[in-house]
Amino acid sequence: MNTVSSNRSRELDRLLTFGKLVPVITIERAEHAVPLARALVSGGLRLLEITLRTAAGADSASRIIAEVPEAIVGIGTVLTRDDLKRAVDLGAKYALSPGATPTLLEAAARGELPFIPGIATSSELMVGLSFGFDTFKFFPAVPAGGIPALKALGGPFPQVKFCPTGGISEDNARDWLALPNVVAIGGSWLAPEGDLNAGNWSALTERAKRALARIGQ
């Protein structure tokens, strides 16, 4: 592992100490971004994944970074080198992808931004390892085989850490976190579309507190 990848890995490890639950957030209206982030931080969730799935995604992330310093903002749904550059330009602390092409992995490997590439199979995992990454987003977690799949991957890849996302809920979050190779989990249930659109910030705060209590944090 070269110096850049080693530093990037250490910084990612440091960031993940701030929480085991990462809300996966898709924002349609940028004016919702700041109150949403404040609600989640008030509930104890500092690590946020703001996706680039909507036209408001980048602006939302920018507003949160500028106005909610307690939030640790990552950019999700990074699909291309341009998306990765946008995450860096926005001032994100980390970035994530649902999958990973060699082109994207190469760009991320050259940079210093902590990056969590997405994988669903052992072959994809091996490609990611060849670029120097050791922490991966297992996506879509439940459709891709769920907890049994991650247990199986732990055999041939004991050095790999995972942040599974996709199909995880408050009811099964603790089961995922009980796996030794899982360092955090992502979930859209922590910031559901209904509460965002309704501006129901207190519900988001209470959901965050309840989720943390259920996993023992």
Q: Which helix (H) or strand (E) holds 75?
A: strand 72-76
* pLDDT value of residue 68: 98
Residue 9 pLDDT > 80? yes
pLDDT of 1 reads 63
| Average pLDDT rounded to a whole number, residues 205-211 | 98
**What percent of the chain has pLDDT above 70?**
100
What's the whole-number mean pLDDT along residues 133-140? 98
- 24 pLDDT higher than 80: yes
Tell me, yes or no, whether 118 lies in a domain. yes
Counting the structural domains of the chain, the total is: 1
Range of the domain at 146: 3-210
In a domain, 17, yes or no: yes
Is residue 157 scored above 80 in pLDDT?
yes
Tokens of 133: 């990454």
Mean local confidence (pLDDT), 159-175: 97
Q: What is the pLDDT of residues 110-123, one digit of tens each?
A: 999 999 999 999 99
CATH number at residue 110: 3.20.20.70
Per-residue pLDDT at 5: 83
Q: Can you give the pTM of this predicted structure?
A: 0.96
Above 70 in pLDDT, residue 154? yes
CA distance 168 to 173: 6
Q: What percent of the chain has pLDDT over 90?
A: 96
Catalytic residues: 49, 137
What is the pLDDT, as a whole number, of residue 2? Answer: 75
Instruction: Answer whether residue 185 is part of any domain.
Output: yes
Question: Would you say residue 46 lies in a domain?
Answer: yes
Query: Is 182 domain-assigned?
Result: yes
| Predicted confidence (pLDDT) at residue 91 exceeds the cutoff of 80 | yes
* pLDDT greater than 90 at residue 148: yes
Within a domain: 216: no
Please provide residue 94's backbone torsions phi and psi, each rounded to the nearest 5 degrees. -160, 170
Query: How far is it, in rounded angstroms, from Cα 161 to Cα 45?
Result: 21
On whether the CB atoms of residues 137 and 22 are closer than 8 A, the answer is: no
pLDDT band at 3; cut points 50, 70, 90: confident
- Residue 50's pLDDT band (cuts 50, 70, 90): very high
170 closest CA partner among 136, 117, 208, 134: 208
Query: Residue 37: how many CB atoms within 10 A of its CB?
Result: 30
Residue 217 counted as domain residue: no
pLDDT at 196: 93
Name the average pLDDT for the chain.
97
Contact 20, 183 (CB under 8 A): yes
Residue 24 lies in a domain: yes
